[in-house]
Amino acid sequence: MYSSQTNKCLLIDFWHSVAERESAVRGRLECLPARMSKSLRILVPVKRVIDYAIKPRVNKSQTGIDTAGVKHSLNPFDELSIEEAVRLRERKKTPVSDILAFSAGPAKCADTLRTAMAMGADRAIHVEVPEDQPLEPLGVAKLLKAVAEKEESNLVLVGKQAIDDDSGQTGQMLAGLLGWPQATQASKVEIEGETVTVTKEVDGGVDTVRARLPMIITTDLRLNEPRYASLPNIMKAKKKKIEKKTLEDYGVDGRRRLKTIKVEEPPPRKGGGKVQDVDGMISKLKELGKIWAFDVLPFPSSVSRPDGFLTLNATRSNLE
């Protein structure tokens, strides 16, 4: 059916296409370093915390919070960071070559890292730190600096605060240590090439700033709606790699600078009971107003800006 001529032609075509494909591959490899610098290597630090819905209890010796047998989960702000990293990949504006989840903490942090990988992180690093000697934000920032440098990360997405310690420092400290630009409390992130535009939540509204990679962004609740990890993704996450490391591997000193003197329950507030109707409410407010020196009647409202730039005539007594 085929003449030798056509066979030859087909063969030549075949080799042509192979050569073409080869040169294309080579070309791609050649321009790879240039592409690498433009692709995002995202580092997402995550923290294992007591679940947000659980009311923490102070332990009997007043040294901390009871954590044994209490439900833990991924810090909600870190979920937002992972989600944003995955969305940056899905948006396909700037290629994302790596999403690395990182956690420093007790052995159980591995579960948290699995959750991060089930949501879309490619791999994970776990630095084991004993539960009774957790790192402070400064220690975490130093560790993250070493990780970011070693892994050649060019974007770090950090939650704006951990809901246990409520410090809200790690991202800014890391940015300071690396000398990178920072955008805190991000509610919108846009990346075009190497230019990053971030809308930040500030007092009274939003601010928009622009910087170039590499950069640190801390995530605010408004940034996105984190996805649930699907069962297939949870299964896939089991095959992804968690690299075990130690503080020594990164040459970081985990010594704490703050000494806990004590942890106690806040003074309880007693509910003052209920009133029957609006009149009851007004008269009770008037009565309480006498004690607390506020007037239930309107006062002339001073014109003010929402960001705190107002002439304040506060003479409130301190609660302490």
Judged by CB under 8 A, the chain residues 211 through 230 that form the site for another protein are: 211-212, 220-222
What residues have CB less than 8 Å from 122, skipping those under 6 apart? 98, 99, 100, 240
Distance in Å, CB of 9 to another protein, minimum: 59
236 sits near another protein (criterion: CB under 8 A): no
Helix (H) or strand (E) holding 188: strand 182-192
Count how many residues are written for the chain. Answer: 320
The pair of structure tokens assigned to 214 is 């590499």
The pair of structure tokens assigned to 148 is 């970011």
Give the single-character DSSP code of 298.
-
Q: Which of 39, 67, 97, 187 binds another protein (CB under 8 A)?
A: 187
272 sits near another protein (criterion: CB under 8 A): yes
Distance CA 94, CA 164 (A): 34
148 sits near another protein (criterion: CB under 8 A): no
**Among 46, 43, 65, 44, which Cα is nearest to 109's?**
46
146 sits near another protein (criterion: CB under 8 A): no
70 sits near another protein (criterion: CB under 8 A): no
Distance in Å, CB of 128 to another protein, minimum: 21
Helix (H) or strand (E) holding 217: strand 215-219
Q: Which of 110, 207, 240, 249 binds another protein (CB under 8 A)?
A: 207
**Among 289, 284, 288, 287, which Cα is nearest to 299's?**
289
Q: Which is nearer to another protein, 103 or 182 (CB)?
A: 182
Restricted to residues 126-145, the positions that interact with another protein (CB under 8 A) are 136-138, 141
Restricted to residues 288-317, the positions that interact with another protein (CB under 8 A) are 288-289, 292-294, 296-316
Restricted to residues 76-135, the positions that interact with another protein (CB under 8 A) are none
Site string for another protein, 16-55 (x = CB under 8 A): ----------------------------------x-x--x
Q: Which is nearer to another protein, 58 or 110 (CB)?
A: 58
Stretch that binds another protein, among 21-29, 91-99, 123-131, 178-186 (CB under 8 A): 178-186
* End-to-end alpha carbon distance in the chain: 99
| Residue that the structure tokens 């408004």 belong to | 222
Q: Is 209 helix (H, G, I), strand (E, B) or coil?
A: strand
259 sits near another protein (criterion: CB under 8 A): yes
